[in-house]
Structure 1
Amino acid sequence: MGYHTFEADRADKLEDAQQRYRFLSAEELRWALSADSGETVADLGSGTGFYTDEVAPDVDRVYAVDVQEAMHDYYREKGVPDNVDLVTSAVDDLPLDTGSLDAAFSTMTYHEFASEGALTEVARVLKPRGTFAIADWAATGSGRDGPPVDERFSAAEATEALRQHGFTVEFEAVRPETFLVVVSAE
């Protein structure tokens, strides 16, 4: 089950590129997604749109999904690219059509929404063989950065949950504080 969301009144912290890229670079995210220019993707837990902005130039459409309207307000003030649609929704109840996404990604938010319902929804909205890339704080980390360790999942826990929802694990890497998992839908 997921845990609390990042506090919207601390949104400025999510725009610290030096800090964010320490744990996931834009290049690594683009590699994990392998998205093409005509594709539609979703950023699940988009927050201020930091990583949405990195992906948007490479694809046709991005749905920036966040449960907090305050995060979308921040993103609007910052400036939302023309090909990004803001969607205020929990991941377990996505207002997207079945099979409408070529890919989805979650950057440091999987621990916030991980649940049976959320993984079922991601599987529903992805096209067959669609990519789901997850970079998140690892339960094996120190807890110095990110959420408390007891609110995190291990890469093994995440991949097992994803397999149970019909995903095929394509890539898995565990780092000192984070993990990166790339899976494909059935």
Structure 2
Amino acid sequence: MGFHTFDPEKADKLEDVERYRYISREELVGHLDIATGDTVADLGSGTGFYSDDVSPFVENLYAVDVQNTMHDHYREKGVPENVSLVTADISDVPFSDGELDAVFSTMTFHEFASDDALAEIARILRPGGRFVVADWTASGRGESGPPVEERYDEDKAHELVTSAGFDVEYEAERPETFILVAIR
């Protein structure tokens, strides 16, 4: 799709509880199937809206964003003790092979999905680790989120993820979003 990022001047929009209509905390945590001692990464974490929701359920959470400005916004609101901020491109994250139990991306897959990024995600996940994606769908009407032409639909996301060596366990297309759960 091409690299772009969310405008940091609109960061306040990332804290809007209306985001839960696209994926709730309960749905996200349920799909992650995490345990208290797990280490997880939020890819494209922005201001930490969903990082804050997942962090109480894990030992360590890495909030990964390519824009340090987003981390500044997160610092302003307060970062939980078990959350570490990581400024990195998804195709080159500073984690060891198999270090993470799960990773998730909420409304950012369209910003980073590439062969290199997906190979990197496969590398950092332990065997059996989960990759949960909730993103805007190209099948939507574009009522919210990025322009439709910048999005993937569920089928294309499935193809990209399986090409990177993941097995898709669950997927669903919705009016404006899709969700995909894959296992390494």
> So what's the TM-score if we normalise by structure 1?
0.98
Q: Does the residue aligned with 2:159 lie in a helix, a strand or coil?
A: helix
Please give the residue correspondences for 1:36-115 in structure 2 after superposition, counting only pairs within 5 Å: 36-115=35-114
What letter matches 1:105 in structure 2?
F
Q: Deviations over 1:68-106 (max 9, x none)?
A: 000000000000000000000010001111100000000
RMSD across aligned C-alpha pairs, in angstroms?
0.6
Q: Which residue of 2 aligns with 1:11?
A: 11
Q: Does the residue aligned with 1:92 lie in a helix, a strand or coil?
A: coil
Aligned residues, how many?
Answer: 184
What letter matches 1:65 in structure 2?
V
Q: Which residue of 2 aligns with 1:149?
A: 148
Q: Does the residue aligned with 1:94 lie in a helix, a strand or coil?
A: coil
5+ residue gaps, structure 2: none
C-alpha deviation, 1:9, in angstroms: 0.8
Q: Does the residue aligned with 1:56 lie in a helix, a strand or coil?
A: helix
5+ residue gaps, structure 1: none
Q: Does the residue aligned with 1:65 lie in a helix, a strand or coil?
A: strand
Counterpart contact for 1:2–1:110, Cα < 8 Å: no
Q: Which residue of 1 aligns with 2:25?
A: 26
In the alignment, the residues of structure 1 paired with residue 93 and residue 3 of structure 2 have an alpha-carbon distance, to the nearest angstrom, of: 18
In the alignment, the residues of structure 2 paired with residue 115 and residue 166 of structure 1 have an alpha-carbon distance, to the nearest angstrom, of: 13
In the alignment, the residues of structure 2 paired with residue 23 and residue 163 of structure 1 have an alpha-carbon distance, to the nearest angstrom, of: 24
Q: Deviations over 1:112-146 (max 9, x none)?
A: 00101100000000000100000000000010100
C-alpha deviation, 1:4, in angstroms: 1.3
Are the structure 2 counterparts of residues 2 and 29 from structure 1 closer, same or farther at C-alpha, using a change threshold of 3 Å? farther
User: 4+ runs of 1 displaced by more than 4 Å?
Assistant: none
Q: Which residue of 2 aligns with 1:116?
A: 115
Q: Does the residue aligned with 1:163 lie in a helix, a strand or coil?
A: helix
> So what's the TM-score if we normalise by structure 2?
0.99
